[in-house]
Amino acid sequence: MNKVTIGEYELNYECYGEGEPVIFLNGIMMSSLSWRPFIEHFRDNKVIFLDLIDQGSSSKGKESYTQELHVDMLNDFLDKLSIKKAHILGISYGGEVAMRFALKYPKRLLSLILANTTSYTTEIMRGIEKLWDYAAGTYDGEVFFNATMPYIYSHKFYEENAKWLKVREELIINSFKKEWYEGFRRAIKSASDLNVTNRLQEIHVPTFIIGAEYDIITPVIYQEIIHKGIKDSSMVVIKESGHASMYEKPIEFATLVSGFLRNYNKNIRIL
C-alpha cells in the first residue's frame, strides 16, 4: 500500500505492473483490496487501485461533500504520480465519479470503462440510499448486511452462495466500526446531486460500458442511456449477474475489461 497527500487528506493506493496506467475506482463499499484477485488479468498495463475519501485506508471525510471532491482529488492524484493520461475504470459509485472526471478533465483520459453504473441518481436509488443510511446508522453489522446485500447480489448468486455470504456477514459484523459506517453515510449522500445525462455527448474518449442482467440497483436500462449518450461507445451485458458482477462473474468481468484495453472493441453483445 502507498499513500499520497493531497491537501488535508491522504489517499491510499496500490500499484502493479508496467504499461499504460489504468486507475480503478471502487464501488461505494469496496476498497483497493477488492481488486487484488484481478491483478493477473491486467499484466499489459500499470494497474492502480485507488481508495477514494471514506474508502479503504484513505482519510475519512471531515464533513459532508459531493463527488466533485473525488474528481478534483483524482486530478491531483494523477499529478502526484506524474501521470499525464490514464484509462479509468469505475464500478457503480466509482463509475459516477469517472463520468464526472471525464467531463471536467477530458484531456487526462485515454479511455473510460463504466460498470454497473448510472448517469443520474434515480428515484429507486434515493429510496435505497434512505434504507442504507438508516441501516448504517444502527451501527449493527447484521442489520446493515441484510439491508444491503440482497440489492447487491443477484437472486441466483444469493441462493447458490449462502455459506460464502454468511462469511461475509460475519466479516462485516466483526470488522466494520462506527467510523466506517459514518464514512459510508457521507459517501452515499455525496451522489444525491448526480445528473450528467444531458452532458454525456461531451465525452469523446473510447468508452466501454458493462451492465448486468439481474442488476437491481442500476438496471441495464441505465447503462443503455449512457451508451446512447456517449458517441461510439460499446456495451456488453453480463448474463445471470447482479450489481456485483465483478464478484459474481469475475472471469467474464476481467476478460471483458482486458479485451477492451487491448482492442477497444466496439461490439454490442450479450455474454
Please, are residues 56 and 49 in contact by the beta-carbon 8 Å criterion? no
Last residue of a domain, one of 133, 167, 186: 186
Last residue of a domain, one of 144, 170, 186: 186
Helix, strand, or coil here: 70?
Answer: helix
The Cα–Cα gap between 168 and 178 comes to 18
Residue among 223, 247, 225, 209 at smallest CA distance from 29 = 247
Sequence-ordered list of residues with C-beta below 8 angstroms from that of 220, at least 6 positions apart, any chain: 211, 212, 213, 237
Confidence (pLDDT) at 270: 37
Could you tell me where the DSSP H helices lie in 138-177?
141-152, 155-160, 162-175
User: Same structural domain for residues 154 and 198?
Assistant: no
User: Same structural domain for residues 165 and 134?
Assistant: yes
Instruction: Calculate the dihedral angle through the C-alpha atoms of 17, 23, 27, 32, rounding to the nearest 10 degrees.
Output: 40
Residue among 35, 42, 41 at smallest CA distance from 14 = 35
| Residues in the chain with pLDDT values less than 50 | 265-271
Say which DSSP state 96 is in.
Answer: H
Helix, strand, or coil here: 177?
Answer: coil
The Cα–Cα gap between 29 and 173 comes to 14
Please, are residues 222 and 198 in contact by the beta-carbon 8 Å criterion? no
User: Same structural domain for residues 166 and 198?
Assistant: no
- Can you give the length of the chain in residues? 271
- For residue 261, give the CATH number of its domain: 3.40.50.1820
User: Same structural domain for residues 25 and 95?
Assistant: yes
Confidence (pLDDT) at 87: 97
The Cα–Cα gap between 249 and 125 comes to 23
C-alpha cell at 244: 456485483
> Which position has the grid cell 464514512?
183
Confidence (pLDDT) at 262: 87
Residue among 162, 156, 161 at smallest CA distance from 241 = 156
Confidence (pLDDT) at 266: 38
Confidence (pLDDT) at 264: 53
pTM, whole model, 2 decimals? Answer: 0.94
User: Same structural domain for residues 69 and 25?
Assistant: yes
Domain hosting 86: range is 2-122+193-270
Confidence (pLDDT) at 110: 96
Last residue of a domain, one of 186, 202, 226: 186
Confidence (pLDDT) at 263: 81
Please, are residues 4 and 81 in contact by the beta-carbon 8 Å criterion? yes
How many domains, in total, are found in the chain? Answer: 2
Helix, strand, or coil here: 153?
Answer: coil
